[in-house]
Chain A
Amino acid sequence: MGLYSLSAMLLAAVVAIAIMAVSETFAIFVPGLLQGAWLTLQIALLGCVLAVTMAVLAALARLYGPLPLRWLANTYVEVFRGTSALVQLFWLFFVLPHFGLTLEPFTVAVVGLGLNVGAYGAEVVRGAILGIVPGQWEATVALNMTRWQALRRVILPQAFVAMIPPWGNLFIELLKSTALVSLITLGDLAFRAQQMNQTTMKTIPIFTLVLLMYLVMSLAITICMRLLERRATRGLARGRSA
Protein backbone atom coordinates (compact mmCIF):
# COMPACT_ATOMS: atom_id res chain seq x y z
CA MET A 1 0.00 0.00 0.00
CA GLY A 2 1.18 3.50 -0.75
CA LEU A 3 2.22 6.07 1.79
CA TYR A 4 -0.90 8.14 1.14
CA SER A 5 -3.36 5.32 1.77
CA LEU A 6 -1.42 4.32 4.89
CA SER A 7 -1.52 7.90 6.18
CA ALA A 8 -5.22 8.13 5.39
CA MET A 9 -5.86 4.96 7.36
CA LEU A 10 -3.82 6.26 10.26
CA LEU A 11 -5.72 9.51 10.22
CA ALA A 12 -9.06 7.69 10.07
CA ALA A 13 -8.12 5.51 13.06
CA VAL A 14 -6.99 8.53 15.08
CA VAL A 15 -10.20 10.40 14.25
CA ALA A 16 -12.29 7.39 15.25
CA ILE A 17 -10.52 7.23 18.61
CA ALA A 18 -10.97 10.98 19.08
CA ILE A 19 -14.68 10.73 18.35
CA MET A 20 -15.07 7.91 20.85
CA ALA A 21 -13.09 9.91 23.37
CA VAL A 22 -15.66 12.71 23.31
CA SER A 23 -18.77 10.56 23.05
CA GLU A 24 -20.63 10.08 26.33
CA THR A 25 -20.81 6.28 26.33
CA PHE A 26 -17.19 5.54 25.39
CA ALA A 27 -15.33 8.43 26.96
CA ILE A 28 -14.79 6.70 30.31
CA PHE A 29 -12.69 3.95 28.74
CA VAL A 30 -10.31 6.16 26.82
CA PRO A 31 -7.97 7.54 29.51
CA GLY A 32 -7.33 4.11 31.04
CA LEU A 33 -6.74 2.51 27.68
CA LEU A 34 -4.44 5.35 26.61
CA GLN A 35 -2.38 4.78 29.74
CA GLY A 36 -2.10 1.13 28.79
CA ALA A 37 -1.22 2.07 25.23
CA TRP A 38 1.55 4.35 26.49
CA LEU A 39 3.12 1.48 28.42
CA THR A 40 2.75 -0.80 25.40
CA LEU A 41 4.47 1.81 23.24
CA GLN A 42 7.35 2.24 25.69
CA ILE A 43 7.96 -1.51 25.85
CA ALA A 44 7.73 -1.80 22.06
CA LEU A 45 10.13 1.07 21.36
CA LEU A 46 12.78 0.04 23.87
CA GLY A 47 12.34 -3.57 22.77
CA CYS A 48 13.00 -2.53 19.16
CA VAL A 49 16.19 -0.71 20.13
CA LEU A 50 17.44 -3.75 22.02
CA ALA A 51 16.36 -6.09 19.21
CA VAL A 52 18.30 -4.15 16.56
CA THR A 53 21.39 -3.94 18.75
CA MET A 54 21.34 -7.64 19.55
CA ALA A 55 20.61 -8.56 15.93
CA VAL A 56 23.57 -6.60 14.56
CA LEU A 57 25.94 -7.90 17.24
CA ALA A 58 24.80 -11.49 16.82
CA ALA A 59 24.95 -11.32 13.02
CA LEU A 60 28.48 -9.84 13.03
CA ALA A 61 29.63 -12.37 15.62
CA ARG A 62 28.21 -15.24 13.57
CA LEU A 63 29.78 -13.99 10.35
CA TYR A 64 33.14 -12.67 11.46
CA GLY A 65 33.64 -13.44 15.15
CA PRO A 66 36.24 -15.79 16.57
CA LEU A 67 34.96 -19.29 17.24
CA PRO A 68 33.78 -18.87 20.86
CA LEU A 69 31.88 -15.70 19.97
CA ARG A 70 30.35 -17.36 16.94
CA TRP A 71 29.26 -20.24 19.11
CA LEU A 72 27.75 -17.90 21.67
CA ALA A 73 25.82 -16.01 19.02
CA ASN A 74 24.57 -19.24 17.44
CA THR A 75 23.33 -20.40 20.80
CA TYR A 76 21.56 -17.13 21.45
CA VAL A 77 19.81 -17.17 18.09
CA GLU A 78 18.77 -20.82 18.26
CA VAL A 79 17.55 -20.64 21.86
CA PHE A 80 15.50 -17.51 21.39
CA ARG A 81 14.05 -18.58 18.06
CA GLY A 82 13.39 -22.09 19.22
CA THR A 83 11.33 -21.29 22.32
CA SER A 84 8.24 -19.16 22.64
CA ALA A 85 8.32 -15.54 23.75
CA LEU A 86 5.89 -16.35 26.56
CA VAL A 87 8.18 -19.03 27.97
CA GLN A 88 11.11 -16.62 27.76
CA LEU A 89 9.22 -13.92 29.66
CA PHE A 90 8.15 -16.41 32.33
CA TRP A 91 11.66 -17.70 32.61
CA LEU A 92 13.14 -14.23 33.05
CA PHE A 93 10.40 -13.26 35.48
CA PHE A 94 9.83 -16.36 37.58
CA VAL A 95 13.00 -18.43 37.22
CA LEU A 96 15.80 -15.86 37.27
CA PRO A 97 14.93 -14.75 40.83
CA HIS A 98 15.77 -18.28 41.98
CA PHE A 99 19.28 -17.60 40.72
CA GLY A 100 19.38 -14.37 42.67
CA LEU A 101 18.51 -11.99 39.86
CA THR A 102 15.19 -10.21 40.27
CA LEU A 103 14.23 -7.79 37.51
CA GLU A 104 11.45 -5.23 37.37
CA PRO A 105 8.52 -6.46 35.27
CA PHE A 106 9.09 -3.59 32.85
CA THR A 107 12.74 -4.59 32.42
CA VAL A 108 11.74 -8.20 31.90
CA ALA A 109 9.27 -7.14 29.23
CA VAL A 110 11.81 -5.06 27.31
CA VAL A 111 14.65 -7.55 27.67
CA GLY A 112 12.50 -10.59 26.92
CA LEU A 113 10.80 -9.23 23.83
CA GLY A 114 13.94 -7.43 22.64
CA LEU A 115 16.05 -10.58 22.87
CA ASN A 116 13.35 -12.64 21.23
CA VAL A 117 12.91 -10.38 18.23
CA GLY A 118 16.66 -9.74 18.11
CA ALA A 119 17.21 -13.44 17.45
CA TYR A 120 15.00 -13.30 14.37
CA GLY A 121 16.57 -9.99 13.39
CA ALA A 122 20.03 -11.55 13.51
CA GLU A 123 19.04 -13.71 10.56
CA VAL A 124 17.69 -10.67 8.73
CA VAL A 125 20.95 -8.78 9.26
CA ARG A 126 23.07 -11.78 8.31
CA GLY A 127 21.05 -12.41 5.18
CA ALA A 128 21.30 -8.77 4.14
CA ILE A 129 25.08 -8.73 4.62
CA LEU A 130 25.49 -11.97 2.68
CA GLY A 131 23.28 -10.54 -0.04
CA ILE A 132 25.84 -7.87 -0.91
CA VAL A 133 27.57 -8.92 -4.12
CA PRO A 134 31.24 -10.03 -3.74
CA GLY A 135 32.31 -7.26 -6.12
CA GLN A 136 31.63 -4.72 -3.38
CA TRP A 137 33.99 -6.48 -0.99
CA GLU A 138 36.57 -6.82 -3.74
CA ALA A 139 36.42 -3.09 -4.40
CA THR A 140 37.16 -2.42 -0.73
CA VAL A 141 40.18 -4.71 -0.86
CA ALA A 142 41.42 -2.96 -3.99
CA LEU A 143 41.09 0.32 -2.08
CA ASN A 144 43.04 -1.22 0.78
CA MET A 145 40.27 -0.86 3.34
CA THR A 146 40.24 -3.10 6.39
CA ARG A 147 37.37 -5.52 6.83
CA TRP A 148 35.91 -3.35 9.55
CA GLN A 149 36.17 -0.18 7.42
CA ALA A 150 34.55 -2.06 4.54
CA LEU A 151 31.69 -3.24 6.74
CA ARG A 152 31.07 0.11 8.31
CA ARG A 153 31.30 2.30 5.24
CA VAL A 154 30.35 0.07 2.33
CA ILE A 155 28.65 -3.19 3.26
CA LEU A 156 26.36 -2.30 6.18
CA PRO A 157 24.95 0.89 4.61
CA GLN A 158 23.91 -1.16 1.57
CA ALA A 159 22.67 -4.09 3.62
CA PHE A 160 20.67 -1.62 5.69
CA VAL A 161 18.45 -0.84 2.71
CA ALA A 162 17.60 -4.51 2.22
CA MET A 163 16.87 -4.90 5.92
CA ILE A 164 14.24 -2.21 6.25
CA PRO A 165 11.14 -4.09 5.04
CA PRO A 166 11.79 -7.27 7.08
CA TRP A 167 12.55 -5.13 10.12
CA GLY A 168 9.20 -3.40 9.64
CA ASN A 169 7.55 -6.81 9.97
CA LEU A 170 9.58 -7.70 13.04
CA PHE A 171 8.75 -4.40 14.76
CA ILE A 172 5.04 -5.06 14.24
CA GLU A 173 5.48 -8.60 15.56
CA LEU A 174 7.14 -7.11 18.61
CA LEU A 175 4.35 -4.61 19.10
CA LYS A 176 1.75 -7.37 18.97
CA SER A 177 3.65 -9.66 21.30
CA THR A 178 3.69 -6.93 23.97
CA ALA A 179 0.21 -8.25 24.83
CA LEU A 180 2.05 -11.11 26.57
CA VAL A 181 3.43 -8.80 29.25
CA SER A 182 0.01 -8.62 30.91
CA LEU A 183 0.91 -12.11 32.14
CA ILE A 184 3.84 -10.77 34.12
CA THR A 185 1.77 -8.21 36.03
CA LEU A 186 2.16 -5.22 33.67
CA GLY A 187 -0.80 -2.94 32.94
CA ASP A 188 -0.37 -2.68 29.19
CA LEU A 189 -3.11 -2.01 26.67
CA ALA A 190 -4.30 -5.62 26.48
CA PHE A 191 -4.30 -5.94 30.28
CA ARG A 192 -6.34 -2.77 30.79
CA ALA A 193 -8.86 -3.89 28.20
CA GLN A 194 -9.42 -7.23 29.88
CA GLN A 195 -9.71 -5.56 33.26
CA MET A 196 -12.31 -3.03 32.04
CA ASN A 197 -14.18 -5.74 30.21
CA GLN A 198 -14.45 -7.83 33.35
CA THR A 199 -15.80 -4.96 35.46
CA THR A 200 -18.11 -3.30 32.88
CA MET A 201 -18.89 -6.03 30.34
CA LYS A 202 -18.86 -3.36 27.59
CA THR A 203 -17.00 -5.67 25.25
CA ILE A 204 -17.74 -4.00 21.93
CA PRO A 205 -16.58 -0.43 22.63
CA ILE A 206 -13.59 -1.54 24.71
CA PHE A 207 -12.17 -3.96 22.19
CA THR A 208 -12.99 -1.66 19.30
CA LEU A 209 -10.92 1.03 20.96
CA VAL A 210 -8.13 -1.42 21.69
CA LEU A 211 -8.11 -2.59 18.10
CA LEU A 212 -7.90 0.99 16.86
CA MET A 213 -5.07 1.84 19.24
CA TYR A 214 -2.97 -1.15 18.16
CA LEU A 215 -3.73 -0.27 14.56
CA VAL A 216 -2.55 3.31 15.06
CA MET A 217 0.73 2.09 16.51
CA SER A 218 1.39 -0.49 13.80
CA LEU A 219 0.45 1.93 11.03
CA ALA A 220 2.84 4.45 12.53
CA ILE A 221 5.61 1.83 12.43
CA THR A 222 4.81 0.92 8.82
CA ILE A 223 4.82 4.57 7.77
CA CYS A 224 8.12 5.28 9.56
CA MET A 225 9.74 2.31 7.85
CA ARG A 226 8.46 3.42 4.46
CA LEU A 227 9.89 6.89 4.98
CA LEU A 228 13.17 5.39 6.12
CA GLU A 229 13.27 3.17 3.06
CA ARG A 230 12.56 6.07 0.77
CA ARG A 231 15.38 8.07 2.35
CA ALA A 232 17.82 5.19 2.26
CA THR A 233 17.21 4.35 -1.39
CA ARG A 234 17.74 7.89 -2.61
CA GLY A 235 20.32 7.74 -5.36
CA LEU A 236 19.94 4.00 -5.74
CA ALA A 237 16.62 4.57 -7.41
CA ARG A 238 17.27 3.57 -11.00
CA GLY A 239 16.70 -0.10 -11.71
CA ARG A 240 14.83 -0.70 -8.48
CA SER A 241 11.13 -0.40 -7.95
CA ALA A 242 10.53 3.03 -6.49
Chain B
Amino acid sequence: MNTANDATEQPMVRFDGVTKSYGALTVLDDLRLDIGRGEKVAIIGPSGSGKTTVLRMLMTLERINDGVIWVDGEPMTHMEKGGRLVPADPRHLRRVRAKVGMVFQHFNLFPHMTALGNCIEAPITVLGLSRREAEERAAELLDLVGLADKKEHYPAQLSGGQQQRVAIARALAMRPKVMLFDEVTSALDPELCGEVLQVIRKLGSEHDLTMLMVTHQMGFAKEFADRVCFFYQGKICEQGNPQDMFAAPQNERTRQFLRAVMDSV
Protein backbone atom coordinates (compact mmCIF):
# COMPACT_ATOMS: atom_id res chain seq x y z
CA MET B 1 0.00 0.00 0.00
CA ASN B 2 1.18 3.48 -0.83
CA THR B 3 1.47 5.98 1.93
CA ALA B 4 0.87 9.64 1.17
CA ASN B 5 4.60 10.18 1.27
CA ASP B 6 5.32 7.58 -1.33
CA ALA B 7 2.71 9.08 -3.60
CA THR B 8 4.37 12.47 -3.68
CA GLU B 9 7.65 10.87 -4.67
CA GLN B 10 6.07 9.20 -7.65
CA PRO B 11 5.86 10.98 -10.97
CA MET B 12 2.63 12.82 -11.69
CA VAL B 13 2.25 10.99 -14.98
CA ARG B 14 3.90 7.80 -16.13
CA PHE B 15 3.61 6.21 -19.55
CA ASP B 16 4.76 2.67 -18.95
CA GLY B 17 5.40 0.87 -22.22
CA VAL B 18 2.35 2.39 -23.89
CA THR B 19 1.58 1.34 -27.43
CA LYS B 20 -1.14 2.74 -29.62
CA SER B 21 -2.03 1.62 -33.08
CA TYR B 22 -4.78 2.22 -35.59
CA GLY B 23 -5.15 -1.06 -37.40
CA ALA B 24 -1.77 -1.92 -38.83
CA LEU B 25 -0.38 1.57 -38.19
CA THR B 26 1.56 1.81 -34.93
CA VAL B 27 1.30 5.42 -33.87
CA LEU B 28 3.16 5.15 -30.57
CA ASP B 29 5.56 2.36 -29.88
CA ASP B 30 6.39 1.31 -26.33
CA LEU B 31 6.30 4.86 -24.97
CA ARG B 32 8.11 5.29 -21.65
CA LEU B 33 7.88 8.75 -20.17
CA ASP B 34 7.74 10.07 -16.59
CA ILE B 35 6.55 13.58 -15.86
CA GLY B 36 7.31 15.05 -12.48
CA ARG B 37 4.99 16.97 -10.18
CA GLY B 38 4.69 20.54 -11.38
CA GLU B 39 6.94 19.83 -14.31
CA LYS B 40 6.34 21.70 -17.57
CA VAL B 41 7.02 19.50 -20.56
CA ALA B 42 6.92 20.64 -24.16
CA ILE B 43 6.33 18.06 -26.85
CA ILE B 44 7.65 18.91 -30.29
CA GLY B 45 8.02 16.97 -33.49
CA PRO B 46 6.91 16.78 -37.08
CA SER B 47 3.26 16.43 -38.03
CA GLY B 48 2.00 12.88 -37.63
CA SER B 49 4.67 11.89 -35.11
CA GLY B 50 2.08 11.05 -32.44
CA LYS B 51 2.14 14.18 -30.26
CA THR B 52 -1.61 14.69 -30.16
CA THR B 53 -2.12 10.99 -29.54
CA VAL B 54 0.01 11.17 -26.38
CA LEU B 55 -2.26 13.85 -24.92
CA ARG B 56 -5.46 12.17 -26.08
CA MET B 57 -4.48 8.89 -24.44
CA LEU B 58 -3.80 10.68 -21.19
CA MET B 59 -7.21 12.39 -21.44
CA THR B 60 -8.78 8.92 -22.03
CA LEU B 61 -9.96 10.06 -25.46
CA GLU B 62 -8.09 7.12 -27.00
CA ARG B 63 -7.83 3.57 -25.80
CA ILE B 64 -4.33 2.21 -25.60
CA ASN B 65 -3.32 -1.16 -27.02
CA ASP B 66 -0.59 -2.03 -24.58
CA GLY B 67 1.12 -0.74 -21.46
CA VAL B 68 -0.23 1.24 -18.53
CA ILE B 69 -0.70 4.97 -17.96
CA TRP B 70 -0.26 6.09 -14.34
CA VAL B 71 -1.55 9.35 -12.93
CA ASP B 72 -0.65 10.67 -9.50
CA GLY B 73 0.69 7.34 -8.33
CA GLU B 74 -2.14 5.11 -9.47
CA PRO B 75 -2.89 3.33 -12.70
CA MET B 76 -5.48 5.11 -14.82
CA THR B 77 -5.97 2.83 -17.78
CA HIS B 78 -5.98 -0.15 -15.45
CA MET B 79 -7.07 -0.96 -11.93
CA GLU B 80 -5.90 -3.37 -9.33
CA LYS B 81 -8.01 -6.45 -8.87
CA GLY B 82 -6.77 -9.36 -6.79
CA GLY B 83 -3.21 -8.05 -6.96
CA ARG B 84 -3.25 -7.82 -10.74
CA LEU B 85 -3.81 -4.93 -13.12
CA VAL B 86 -6.92 -5.34 -15.23
CA PRO B 87 -8.36 -2.85 -17.74
CA ALA B 88 -10.16 -0.04 -15.91
CA ASP B 89 -13.93 0.10 -15.77
CA PRO B 90 -15.65 3.40 -16.62
CA ARG B 91 -15.99 4.37 -12.97
CA HIS B 92 -12.30 3.99 -12.27
CA LEU B 93 -11.45 5.84 -15.47
CA ARG B 94 -13.66 8.75 -14.49
CA ARG B 95 -12.28 8.94 -10.99
CA VAL B 96 -8.67 9.10 -12.13
CA ARG B 97 -9.18 11.31 -15.16
CA ALA B 98 -10.66 13.95 -12.87
CA LYS B 99 -7.03 14.87 -12.22
CA VAL B 100 -6.44 15.69 -15.88
CA GLY B 101 -7.73 18.63 -17.90
CA MET B 102 -7.24 19.50 -21.53
CA VAL B 103 -7.28 22.52 -23.84
CA PHE B 104 -7.84 21.79 -27.51
CA GLN B 105 -6.50 23.28 -30.70
CA HIS B 106 -10.01 24.30 -31.78
CA PHE B 107 -11.21 25.40 -28.32
CA ASN B 108 -14.30 23.15 -28.33
CA LEU B 109 -16.27 25.63 -26.25
CA PHE B 110 -19.97 24.93 -25.83
CA PRO B 111 -21.49 27.40 -28.30
CA HIS B 112 -24.89 27.53 -26.59
CA MET B 113 -23.45 28.71 -23.28
CA THR B 114 -21.86 32.02 -22.32
CA ALA B 115 -18.24 32.23 -21.19
CA LEU B 116 -19.45 31.95 -17.61
CA GLY B 117 -21.85 29.14 -18.52
CA ASN B 118 -19.00 27.19 -20.07
CA CYS B 119 -16.97 27.55 -16.90
CA ILE B 120 -19.68 26.59 -14.38
CA GLU B 121 -21.26 23.71 -16.31
CA ALA B 122 -18.99 20.87 -15.25
CA PRO B 123 -18.27 22.15 -11.73
CA ILE B 124 -22.02 22.05 -11.12
CA THR B 125 -23.00 18.84 -12.93
CA VAL B 126 -19.84 16.86 -12.23
CA LEU B 127 -18.41 18.21 -8.97
CA GLY B 128 -21.78 19.07 -7.48
CA LEU B 129 -20.88 22.64 -6.60
CA SER B 130 -23.70 25.05 -5.90
CA ARG B 131 -24.32 27.61 -8.62
CA ARG B 132 -22.93 30.34 -6.39
CA GLU B 133 -19.73 28.49 -5.58
CA ALA B 134 -19.26 27.62 -9.23
CA GLU B 135 -19.83 31.20 -10.32
CA GLU B 136 -17.34 32.50 -7.79
CA ARG B 137 -14.74 30.03 -8.95
CA ALA B 138 -15.46 30.81 -12.61
CA ALA B 139 -15.30 34.57 -12.03
CA GLU B 140 -11.89 34.19 -10.39
CA LEU B 141 -10.58 32.15 -13.30
CA LEU B 142 -12.06 34.39 -16.00
CA ASP B 143 -10.32 37.21 -14.18
CA LEU B 144 -7.07 35.24 -14.24
CA VAL B 145 -7.29 34.85 -18.01
CA GLY B 146 -8.19 38.51 -18.39
CA LEU B 147 -11.82 38.10 -19.39
CA ALA B 148 -13.67 39.34 -16.33
CA ASP B 149 -15.70 41.67 -18.56
CA LYS B 150 -16.72 38.98 -21.07
CA LYS B 151 -18.62 36.66 -18.72
CA GLU B 152 -21.94 37.05 -20.47
CA HIS B 153 -20.55 36.76 -24.00
CA TYR B 154 -21.24 33.72 -26.12
CA PRO B 155 -18.27 32.06 -27.85
CA ALA B 156 -19.45 33.40 -31.22
CA GLN B 157 -19.07 36.92 -29.83
CA LEU B 158 -15.45 36.38 -28.79
CA SER B 159 -12.22 36.43 -30.78
CA GLY B 160 -10.25 33.20 -31.18
CA GLY B 161 -7.77 34.25 -28.53
CA GLN B 162 -10.56 35.09 -26.10
CA GLN B 163 -12.29 31.79 -26.80
CA GLN B 164 -9.12 29.89 -26.11
CA ARG B 165 -8.68 31.75 -22.83
CA VAL B 166 -12.23 30.84 -21.82
CA ALA B 167 -11.38 27.23 -22.66
CA ILE B 168 -8.38 27.43 -20.34
CA ALA B 169 -10.51 28.89 -17.54
CA ARG B 170 -13.12 26.19 -18.13
CA ALA B 171 -10.53 23.43 -17.79
CA LEU B 172 -9.01 25.02 -14.66
CA ALA B 173 -12.43 25.25 -13.02
CA MET B 174 -12.28 21.48 -12.54
CA ARG B 175 -9.06 21.91 -10.50
CA PRO B 176 -6.97 19.39 -12.45
CA LYS B 177 -3.48 18.47 -11.35
CA VAL B 178 -2.31 17.95 -14.91
CA MET B 179 -3.14 20.26 -17.79
CA LEU B 180 -2.74 19.24 -21.39
CA PHE B 181 -2.40 21.80 -24.17
CA ASP B 182 -2.58 20.60 -27.76
CA GLU B 183 -1.27 23.26 -30.14
CA VAL B 184 -3.55 25.74 -28.45
CA THR B 185 -2.38 28.66 -30.55
CA SER B 186 -2.18 27.07 -33.98
CA ALA B 187 -5.79 27.88 -34.89
CA LEU B 188 -5.23 31.53 -33.99
CA ASP B 189 -4.16 34.51 -36.03
CA PRO B 190 -0.54 35.30 -35.14
CA GLU B 191 -1.39 38.52 -33.32
CA LEU B 192 -3.71 36.61 -30.96
CA CYS B 193 -1.19 33.95 -29.93
CA GLY B 194 0.53 36.25 -27.48
CA GLU B 195 -2.43 36.74 -25.17
CA VAL B 196 -2.95 32.97 -24.89
CA LEU B 197 0.72 32.23 -24.29
CA GLN B 198 0.75 34.99 -21.68
CA VAL B 199 -2.00 33.17 -19.79
CA ILE B 200 -0.10 29.89 -19.98
CA ARG B 201 3.02 31.62 -18.69
CA LYS B 202 1.01 32.97 -15.78
CA LEU B 203 -0.31 29.50 -14.98
CA GLY B 204 3.20 28.18 -15.03
CA SER B 205 4.39 30.67 -12.47
CA GLU B 206 1.34 30.96 -10.22
CA HIS B 207 0.19 27.38 -10.15
CA ASP B 208 1.71 24.19 -9.00
CA LEU B 209 0.31 22.56 -12.11
CA THR B 210 1.89 19.81 -14.11
CA MET B 211 1.73 20.94 -17.71
CA LEU B 212 2.17 19.00 -20.88
CA MET B 213 2.04 20.94 -24.07
CA VAL B 214 2.33 20.17 -27.73
CA THR B 215 3.62 23.23 -29.50
CA HIS B 216 5.20 24.44 -32.70
CA GLN B 217 6.43 27.60 -31.04
CA MET B 218 10.03 26.79 -30.26
CA GLY B 219 10.62 30.20 -28.73
CA PHE B 220 7.91 29.62 -26.18
CA ALA B 221 9.01 26.05 -25.52
CA LYS B 222 12.52 27.22 -24.88
CA GLU B 223 11.52 29.90 -22.43
CA PHE B 224 8.72 28.03 -20.68
CA ALA B 225 9.46 24.32 -20.52
CA ASP B 226 11.57 22.45 -17.98
CA ARG B 227 12.01 19.71 -20.51
CA VAL B 228 11.47 19.25 -24.22
CA CYS B 229 10.60 15.91 -25.80
CA PHE B 230 11.17 15.51 -29.51
CA PHE B 231 8.87 12.92 -31.07
CA TYR B 232 9.64 11.23 -34.33
CA GLN B 233 7.53 8.47 -35.84
CA GLY B 234 5.90 7.48 -32.58
CA LYS B 235 9.01 7.44 -30.46
CA ILE B 236 10.81 9.93 -28.27
CA CYS B 237 13.86 10.60 -30.34
CA GLU B 238 15.55 13.03 -28.01
CA GLN B 239 14.69 14.85 -24.79
CA GLY B 240 16.39 17.24 -22.47
CA ASN B 241 16.32 20.73 -21.07
CA PRO B 242 15.43 23.30 -23.71
CA GLN B 243 18.66 25.31 -23.53
CA ASP B 244 20.86 22.32 -24.35
CA MET B 245 18.52 20.81 -26.84
CA PHE B 246 17.91 23.89 -28.91
CA ALA B 247 21.55 24.94 -28.74
CA ALA B 248 23.09 21.57 -29.47
CA PRO B 249 20.67 18.84 -30.51
CA GLN B 250 22.33 15.44 -30.33
CA ASN B 251 20.20 13.56 -32.80
CA GLU B 252 20.35 14.11 -36.55
CA ARG B 253 16.52 14.02 -36.80
CA THR B 254 16.17 16.68 -34.13
CA ARG B 255 18.68 18.82 -35.94
CA GLN B 256 16.81 18.47 -39.21
CA PHE B 257 13.50 19.25 -37.58
CA LEU B 258 14.76 22.29 -35.71
CA ARG B 259 16.47 23.60 -38.81
CA ALA B 260 13.25 23.22 -40.81
CA VAL B 261 11.16 24.94 -38.13
CA MET B 262 13.61 27.80 -37.66
CA ASP B 263 13.82 28.36 -41.43
CA SER B 264 10.07 28.62 -41.72
CA VAL B 265 9.87 31.43 -39.17
B101 an interface residue at 8 Å Cβ cutoff?
yes
Q: Which residues of B contact A (CB under 8 A)?
A: 59-61, 94, 97-98, 100-102, 104, 106, 108-112, 114, 121-122, 125-126, 154, 156-157, 170-171, 174
Contact check: which of B100, B106, B154 meets A235 at CB < 8 Å? Answer: B154
A136 an interface residue at 8 Å Cβ cutoff?
yes
Q: Are B109 and A139 in contact, CB atoms less than 8 angstroms apart?
A: yes
Cβ-closest chain B residue relative to A238:
B156
Instruction: Produce 1/0 per residue, A138-158, CB < 8 A to B.
Output: 111111111001000110011
Q: Which residues of B contact A236 (CB under 8 A)?
A: 111-112, 154, 156
Cβ-closest chain B residue relative to A149:
B125
A135 an interface residue at 8 Å Cβ cutoff?
yes
Cβ-closest chain B residue relative to A143:
B122
A8 an interface residue at 8 Å Cβ cutoff?
no
The complex places the Cα of A32 from the Cα of B99 at a distance, in Å, of 68
| Given known A-B contacts A138-B108, A139-B110, A157-B112, A145 and B154 have beta carbons under 8 A apart | no
* Further contacts, 8 of them, CB under 8 A, given A143-B121, A153-B121, A235-B156: A142-B61, A142-B100, A149-B126, A158-B111, A161-B112, A235-B111, A235-B112, A238-B157
Cβ-closest chain B residue relative to A239:
B156
Q: Taking chain B's interface residues, is the majority helix, strand, or loop, or is none over half, making it mixed?
A: loop
A237 an interface residue at 8 Å Cβ cutoff?
yes
The complex places the Cα of A139 from the Cα of B102 at a distance, in Å, of 8
The complex places the Cα of A236 from the Cα of B94 at a distance, in Å, of 31
The complex places the Cα of A158 from the Cα of B118 at a distance, in Å, of 14
Q: Are B109 and A144 in contact, CB atoms less than 8 angstroms apart?
A: no
Q: Are B174 and A144 in contact, CB atoms less than 8 angstroms apart?
A: yes
Contact check: which of B111, B114, B126, B154 meets A143 at CB < 8 Å? Answer: B126
Q: Are A136 and B125 in contact, CB atoms less than 8 angstroms apart?
A: no
Instruction: Produce 1/0 per residue, A203-218, CB < 8 A to B.
Output: 0000000000000000
| Given known A-B contacts A138-B104, A238-B156, A145 and B61 have beta carbons under 8 A apart | no
> Smallest distance from the beta carbon of B255 to chain A beta carbons, Å?
35
> Smallest distance from the beta carbon of B101 to chain A beta carbons, Å?
6
Q: Which residues of A contact B126 (CB under 8 A)?
A: 143-146, 149
Q: Are A142 and B101 in contact, CB atoms less than 8 angstroms apart?
A: yes
The complex places the Cα of A141 from the Cα of B93 at a distance, in Å, of 11
The complex places the Cα of A156 from the Cα of B97 at a distance, in Å, of 24
Q: Are B104 and A135 in contact, CB atoms less than 8 angstroms apart?
A: yes
Cβ-closest chain B residue relative to A234:
B154
Q: Which residues of B contact A141 (CB under 8 A)?
A: 59-61, 97
Cβ-closest chain A residue relative to B124:
A153
